[in-house]
Amino acid sequence: MIKLGKLTLNGTPRIAVGFNDRVPPQAILDVKDFGLDVVELRIDQYSSFEVSHVLNEVKKFKNFPSIATIRSEKEGGDWNLSESKRLDLFKAVIPHVDAVDIELSSASILKQVIKEAHAKKKLVVVSYHNFDSTPNFKTLNQIVYKAKALKADIVKIATMTLSRKDIQTLAQVTLVNSEKNLVTIAMGAEGAISRIFFPALGSLMTYAYLGKPMAPGQFDYKTTSDFLRMVY
């Protein structure tokens, strides 16, 4: 059992929705009424990276379990500045969120972000994104092992699926590592159904959107919520 803020991630499917800094105040009130589980703060998509601006936006979601992400450009994000600046921004944000998400590939700052988050008693999601393909089971299993060896609290794997075999590979990874606090996502139209059934295999969360998708194959929040209520 693991907790994100006060929210227990215990097998009940949780829905996370990503937000940038262009969210109307009414939308924040709406998602609160919807009972949204988790907000993903996509800081890499903010219009300004000034600390005061970022913290002001982050604090708008203080009543939600939150994961802050400053996604690197090489893994599908918008951050293309220096890693030292990204590290400084992570350090500024960590006290104000429940978790941070950083890529396994961010080798130059990864250990420092993990250390800083754990010092503040925050969770760390170590993530891997592949927008081209789904590696084989052995490769993905090694990614889980490496992330856990670095003391990741949650390991997130999101890959592009082009066939049924790709979905089966991700399903196998999810089943084998279901006790290791895993989030798995099959991106693309072929893998869209994974966002509903992977939680049954042990994936802690699924991701949806309000307004505009942030990854290929996402369903909108209402559709995702309706599916999960019906299935679970």
Catalytic residues: 129, 156
Interacting residues of 152 by C-beta distance below 8 A, sequence separation 6+: 114, 124, 125, 126
Instruction: Extract the tokens encoding 58.
Output: 């982050």
Q: What share of the chain is helix, strand, coil (3-state, %, to 5)?
A: 45, 25, 35
Instruction: Extract the tokens encoding 85.
Output: 């600046």
Fill in the amino acid letter for 194: S
CA angle 220, 132, 40 (to 5 degrees): 35
What is the pairing mode between strands 99-103 and 123-130? parallel
Nearest to 167 by CA among 189, 182, 146: 189
